[in-house]
């Protein structure tokens, strides 16, 4: 059978121009990952937090796939750069927006639609045979971006219900689009659209010359203002008063009521961890890319857990979300300047303990015939293992040449755990001790460490 292939050789981009464009796209994918990750803890709607977790991981995967193709095109796998300083300044402008609607407009009505159209243009304009891997990749990423845009538009429709709100959102969109056009877009080549009807492709046989930025090009770092806790919508609320937590007391902790209390408190852990993963991605761009990919993956896991746990409380356990408070004893660690401190207690102690807690929940639920609760506890526990491994492996790797750093993490972590356990003791009417946290174990400690003492404790706060 003869091979029929109607594609023609020839495209608009050289290998060098191709790789430069992919580096520009990767820059924007990483910017979007960091923006929505860093915004997550200040977005009150749980549905938005959960979807941001999905989108952060999507952008991380897109950046990773682009890096693979960059390497194939003889460029550095880690290449990512704005085409112009003005585009980097535009990204900074968007990052600094503080309104939920403005942020959603900037990302889902301007930046992502522009990125999608750039992918489609590139896939159409490059050599369809010689550069088939790029074509395949960009069409895949364009489809993913279109799903993001559709979600963002639906959310904006729900948040802008009055004519004045719609008008203002359009004004914000027009302003950011004007900035985008002025800086030449993601590639610095203008807003390209060669596929439009009656537009001659021959008028733009090759891309125009690029602006040379050099090593001193404009860069900025993202920093989140410290908060006492993540921002959440009503009816959710936080409290530092141990008496407020008496609502979670049950005569039988393994009854439906007891499980309802456990899962409602666990929901905070899922929200907090979704938010803290995004915040780390925004504030620590210099962490190894492989570690950042794992942080993004955990953010996605936790976003799914928000959906699962909230549904369990309402549908399986007959609860009403927000009936009890969430604690203040965890979030302060996410204001620490050291990224390893942010995961030392939460991932290497709390989530390790949560694995044991969820196993107990599964066993108790099975004994009571609560099959659904047992199954869900089992699935949640399976995810926790990868989260513990993330911190274990990376803290060990990043402190390998500096054992004193690991010792410092253990000392600091035990003080943090004492703060948590003492609050829990007051909440439960128990005696506060001076030795709380002193024997806590962390999974990043190595066999033979002098500080490796103690046993796993129960905690469902993360």
pLDDT in tens, 369-397: 999 999 999 999 999 999 999 999 999 99
Cα 105 from chain centroid?
19
How many whole angstroms separate alpha carbon 100 and alpha carbon 89? 20
- Read off the pLDDT band of 5 (50, 70, 90): low
Environment class of 356 (CB within 10 Å of its CB; exposed 0-12, middle 13-18, buried 19+): middle
CATH topology of domain 238-427: Ferritin (1.20.1260)
Instruction: State the pLDDT at residue 291.
Output: 98
Would you give the DSSP letter of residue 322?
Answer: T
How many angstroms separate the Cα of 133 from the Cα of each of 73, 126, 137, 183? 10, 11, 6, 29
Instruction: State the pLDDT at residue 426.
Output: 85
Residue 250: left (phi > 0), alpha (psi -120 to 50), or beta? beta
Low-confidence winner among 17-21, 215-219, 368-372, 404-408 (lowest mean pLDDT): 215-219
The two tokens of residue 105 are 């407009």
- Read off the pLDDT band of 145 (50, 70, 90): very high
Indicate the domain borders of the chain. 15-192, 238-427
Helices 289-311 & 256-283 angle (0-180, nearest 10): 150
pLDDT by residue (tens digit) across 328-363?
Answer: 999 999 999 999 999 999 999 999 999 999 999 999
Mean confidence (pLDDT) of the chain: 91
- Read off the pLDDT band of 410 (50, 70, 90): very high
| pLDDT, average across residues 235-256 | 95
pLDDT by residue (tens digit) across 292-328?
Answer: 999 999 999 999 999 999 999 999 999 999 999 999 9
pLDDT by residue (tens digit) across 83-135?
Answer: 999 999 999 999 999 999 999 999 999 999 999 999 999 999 898 889 999 99
Matching fold, domains 15-192 and 238-427 = no
Cα 90 from chain centroid?
21
This prediction's pTM: 0.92
| pLDDT, average across residues 138-167 | 97
Instruction: State the pLDDT at residue 198.
Output: 47
Instruction: State the pLDDT at residue 430.
Output: 77
Residue 460 has pLDDT above 70, yes or no: no
The CATH number of 15-192 is which of 3.30.450.40, 1.20.910.10, 1.50.10.10, 3.30.70.141?
1.20.910.10
- Read off the pLDDT band of 439 (50, 70, 90): confident
Instruction: State the pLDDT at residue 35.
Output: 98
Question: What percentage of the chain carries pLDDT values higher than 70?
Answer: 89
Q: Which segments of 160-208 does DSSP mark as H helices, in order?
A: 163-182
pLDDT by residue (tens digit) across 54-63?
Answer: 999 999 999 9
């Amino acid at each position: 059978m003869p091979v029929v292939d109607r594609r023609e050789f020839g495209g608009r981009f050289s290998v060098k121009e191709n790789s430069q464009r992919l580096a520009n796209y990767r820059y924007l994918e990483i910017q979007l990952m960091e923006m929505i990750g860093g915004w997550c803890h200040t977005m009150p709607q749980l549905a938005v937090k959960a979807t941001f977790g999905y989108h952060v991981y999507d952008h991380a995967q897109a950046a990773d796939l682009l890096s693979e193709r960059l390497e194939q095109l003889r460029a550095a796998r880690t290449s990512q750069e704005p085409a112009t300083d003005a585009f980097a300044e535009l990204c900074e402008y968007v990052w600094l927006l503080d309104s939920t609607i403005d942020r959603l407009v900037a990302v889902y009505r301007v930046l992502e639609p522009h990125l999608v159209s750039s992918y489609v243009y590139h896939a159409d304009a490059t050599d369809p045979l010689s550069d088939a891997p790029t074509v395949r990749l960009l069409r895949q990423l364009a489809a993913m971006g279109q799903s993001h845009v559709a979600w963002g538009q639906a959310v904006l429709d729900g948040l802008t219900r009055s004519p004045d709100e719609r008008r203002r959102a359009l004004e914000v969109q027009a302003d950011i689009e004007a900035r985008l056009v002025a800086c030449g877009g993601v590639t610095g080549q203008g807003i390209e659209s060669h596929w439009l009807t009656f537009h001659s492709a021959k008028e733009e046989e090759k891309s125009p010359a690029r602006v040379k930025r050099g090593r001193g090009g404009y860069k900025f770092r993202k920093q989140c203002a410290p908060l006492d806790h993540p921002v959440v919508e009503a009816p959710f609320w936080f409290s530092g008063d141990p008496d407020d937590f008496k609502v979670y007391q049950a005569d039988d902790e393994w009854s439906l009521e007891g499980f309802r209390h456990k899962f409602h408190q666990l929901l905070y852990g899922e929200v907090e961890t979704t938010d803290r993963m995004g915040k780390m991605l925004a504030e620590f761009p210099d962490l190894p890319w492989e570690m950042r990919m794992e942080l993004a993956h955990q953010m996605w896991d936790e976003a799914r857990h928000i959906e699962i746990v909230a549904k369990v409380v309402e549908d399986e356990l007959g609860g009403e979300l927000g009936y009890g408070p969430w604690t203040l004893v965890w979030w302060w660690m996410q204001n620490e300047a050291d990224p390893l401190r942010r995961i030392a207690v939460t991932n290497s102690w709390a989530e390790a303990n949560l694995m044991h807690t969820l196993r107990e929940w599964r066993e108790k639920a099975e004994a009571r015939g609560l099959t659904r609760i047992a199954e869900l506890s089992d699935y949640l526990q399976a995810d926790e293992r990868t989260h513990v491994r993330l911190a274990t492996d990376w803290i060990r790797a990043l402190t390998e040449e500096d054992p004193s750093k690991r010792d410092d993490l253990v000392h600091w972590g035990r003080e943090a755990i004492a703060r948590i356990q003492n609050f829990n003791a007051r909440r439960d009417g128990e005696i506060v001790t001076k030795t709380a946290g002193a024997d806590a174990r962390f999974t990043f400690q190595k066999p033979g460490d002098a500080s490796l003492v103690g046993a796993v404790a129960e905690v469902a706060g993360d």
